[in-house]
């Protein structure tokens, strides 16, 4: 994913297979937050819940990062 500088923040150009990356990330997060929150705005989604309430495994954290997920506003997020 190529990082760009935008209007008021850095963002990433979206690749063709980002839907699969978003879905795989949601599958990982659903293990930790089975009744978790999901919120989307025009170019970004947030999923999960309060990160200080749960311990996500090192492997899952690394995989989420590989998939383009990042922590924003105290939960995981992905651009779409």
Averaged pLDDT, 33-37: 92
Contact criterion met (CB below 8 Å) for 46 and 38: yes
Going by pLDDT thresholds of 50, 70 and 90, the confidence category of residue 37 is: very high
CA distances from 52 to 5, 33, 37, 56, 58 (A): 30, 12, 15, 10, 15
How many C-beta neighbours within 10 Å does residue 23 have? 11
Whether the predicted pLDDT of 56 surpasses 80:
yes
Whether the predicted pLDDT of 20 surpasses 60:
yes
Secondary structure letter of residue 8 according to DSSP: S
H/E stretch holding 41: strand 37-41
Contacts of 6 by beta carbon, 8 Å cutoff, 6+ apart: none
Averaged pLDDT, 13-36: 87
Going by pLDDT thresholds of 50, 70 and 90, the confidence category of residue 1 is: very low
Task: State what percent of residues in the chain have pLDDT above 90.
Answer: 60
């Amino acid at each position: 994913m190529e990082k760009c500088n935008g209007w008021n923040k850095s963002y990433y150009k979206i690749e063709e297979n980002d839907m699969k990356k978003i879905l795989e990330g949601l599958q990982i997060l659903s293990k930790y937050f089975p009744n978790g929150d999901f919120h989307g705005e025009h170019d970004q989604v947030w999923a999960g819940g309060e990160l200080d309430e749960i311990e996500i495994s090192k492997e899952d954290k690394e995989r989420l990062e590989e998939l383009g997920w990042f922590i924003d506003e105290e939960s995981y997020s992905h651009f779409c």
